[in-house]
Amino acid sequence: MAAATAYENGRGSAYPLTKMNFLVTVASVAGTAAFSEVSGVESSVDVIEFRQGNSGSLAPVKIPGLVKHGNVTLRMGYILDSAFKTWIQECVSEIRGQMPRNDVTIELIDINSGAPTAVVESPVGTRQWTLTNAWVTKYNAPDLDAKTSDVAIESVEIAYEELVIPN
């Protein structure tokens, strides 16, 4: 039997992707910010229970209702200058015009075939989630503590209208 490659587990099937390498891009925002964590990508369908009065069954029929999405939280090391920070400011500012909505793409990067040889600049492939018409609904500045040497972490919460799930 031939030795398994780094991508195969010895039984011919591929290893699952790890969650430690990902890329987040925001449409129409130049450049990208480096995020340490993404959480809250979820979707659910309300269940509507309905029973006709003349039904022969005492159990209601369940039909699908509205689709709802939770807010996504992005955590990043504090950065001084970025187009992404400008987008955050436009969304959470007390004085604003039309809400600046963008599509946000979260891509899981496959490193099973070896370490990347170059910095990933744009998402490719089908292992990506797209949040359509997204906007920043909450911003948290980093906690400050003179007794630690931890990285200053900012977080933003993003609301969106539709979730496109990868194949």
The dihedral of CA 4, 119, 154, 129: what is its sign? Answer: negative
Residue 76 phi/psi, 5-degree rounding, is: -145, 155
Structural domains of the chain sorted by starting position, each given as residue range(s) with its CATH number in brackets: 22-43+70-164 (2.30.110)
pTM above 0.95?
Answer: no
**pLDDT per residue as tens digits for the range 104-160:** 988 887 666 555 566 555 545 558 899 999 999 999 998 898 999 888 888 999 999
* Residue 121 CB-half CA count within 13 A: 3
- Helix, coil or strand: residue 86: helix
The answer to whether the beta carbons of residues 126 and 110 sit under 8 Å apart is no
3-state DSSP call for residue 90?
Answer: helix
CA nearest neighbour of 141 among 100, 96, 85, 91:
85
